[in-house]
Structure 1
Amino acid sequence: MDGNAQAQRCLIRQFAGYAKSISLRYAATFEEAEEIVNDCFLKVFNNLHGYDKAQPFKAWFRTIAINTAIDYYRKNLKWQGQLSLDDLEVADWSDDILSEISAKEILIMVQRLPPTYRMVFTLFVIDGYSHKEIANMLGIQEGTSKSNLRDARRKLQTMIKLNFPHLYQLYNWPNKGFNEN
């Protein structure tokens, strides 16, 4: 496929949606996601010689897409200000709430997380990496990964409370104490 424009277009058509679904989970904006997708395909085309045909292509592609998102995060981290924790009210979490919120609404809230929290949350919750793996990938301590995940969940809970107050009423959350976690 090296240098074969037609084969490259075919691969892009086949995997663009998949690449975008991965990059949107890590990016703060649609534009960032597009940059990650473009970088991903560039890496795929430049590294096709390293693909082991005995392995599933989609898994190899997914790894490149996730690593590209991590690289994008690292590259742009220097441009992001110091993250500070706001005083957060933390509610009890219920998976029932997620059934009341659309995937698009959840994605928008995840994209609003600070970059560090978004990265750890996505790697752990969506892509299934362990805290040890995340720590190695991002160059942080395992405890930092756990802390960032906890804080990401708290921020998401706060966003849900603000954006979907009717769900809190439905589950009688206003009557429960906060900061119980």
Structure 2
Amino acid sequence: MQLLESKVLLDRIIKGCCKRRRKSQKKLYKMFYGYGMSITLRYAESREEAAEILNDAFMKVFTNIKDFDIDKPFKPWLRRIIINTAINHYHRTKKYREMDNVDFAEQSLSTREQILPGISYDEIIEMVQQLTPAYRTVFNLYVIEGFKHREIAEMLGIAVGTSKSNLAKAKRNLQAILEKNFM
């Protein structure tokens, strides 16, 4: 019953957004802010950058909400817009950022197993934010979002081999960050 009420409420809010009602837009924003931030934090270097990406994503949502099919689930549609906005942000800012070319040494699996259980979600996000934009973006798209290297390469305009290399380097760098912070 409560799920049905939530769907009805969401449908009403979406219809209000289609009519460009500020009150409906504000409700939708508040309703999905936490969900959106949980996605953008993984792509951004800071909370401020994540909020900027999320705000850009919501602008796209409000601009294109009339194209949303009300009979389909809203969250996957929103998620796709947020991820695409994060990728666009990466493309816009990559020329201004310095790439970190330091490769960390391989670490043993047993060390990783010892330190992972005591880490909070916020600590993991903070460590992922320390990765270079290229490594962080590929890591998120592959590990968190579940895209294949071919899809990532197309989205980012890079070679499949570069996607694989960036993922391997991201994992090595994360492991080194883990050991530095928790050993």
Q: TM-score, normalised by structure 1?
A: 0.86
Which residue is equivalent to 1:15?
32
Which one-letter code corresponds to 2:162 in the other structure? T
Structure 2, unmatched stretches of 5+, are 1-16
Specify the SS of the correspondent of 1:3: coil
Tell whether the 8 Å contact from 2:53 to 2:86 is kept in structure 1 after alignment: yes
- In percent, how many aligned pairs have the same letter? 48
RMSD across aligned positions (CA)? 1.3
Deviations 1:119-175 (A, max 9, x none): 00011111111111111110111111000000000101111111111xxxxxxxxxx
Structure 2 distance, partners of 1:87, 1:8, is 45
Q: What pairs with 1:134-173 in structure 2 (closer than 5 Å)? A: 134-165=152-183
The total of aligned residue pairs comes to 164
Which one-letter code corresponds to 2:165 in the other structure? S
Structure 1 or 2: more helix by fraction: 2
Structure 1 distance, partners of 2:113, 2:66, is 43
Which residue is equivalent to 1:4?
21
Which residue is equivalent to 2:96?
79
Q: Tell me which of 82, 87, 90 is aligned to 1:70.
A: 87
Q: Is structure 2 residue 46 aligned with structure 1 residue 29?
A: yes
Which residue is equivalent to 2:150?
132
Q: Is structure 2 residue 112 aligned with structure 1 residue 88?
A: no
Task: Note the C-alpha offset of 1:54.
Answer: 2.7
Tell whether the 8 Å contact from 2:100 to 2:132 is kept in structure 1 after alignment: no
Task: Note the C-alpha offset of 1:5.
Answer: 0.7
Structure 1, unmatched stretches of 5+, are 166-181
Which one-letter code corresponds to 1:115 in the other structure? P
Tell whether the 8 Å contact from 2:134 to 2:166 is kept in structure 1 after alignment: yes
Task: Note the C-alpha offset of 1:84.
Answer: 4.3
Q: TM-score, normalised by structure 2?
A: 0.85
Tell whether the 8 Å contact from 2:127 to 2:174 is kept in structure 1 after alignment: yes
Structure 1 distance, partners of 2:166, 2:132, is 10
Which one-letter code corresponds to 2:155 in the other structure? M
Structure 1 residues 87, 140: CA separation in 2 closer, same or farther (over 3 Å shift)? closer
Structure 1 residues 118, 60: CA separation in 2 closer, same or farther (over 3 Å shift)? same
Which residue is equivalent to 2:6?
none
Specify the SS of the correspondent of 1:85: coil
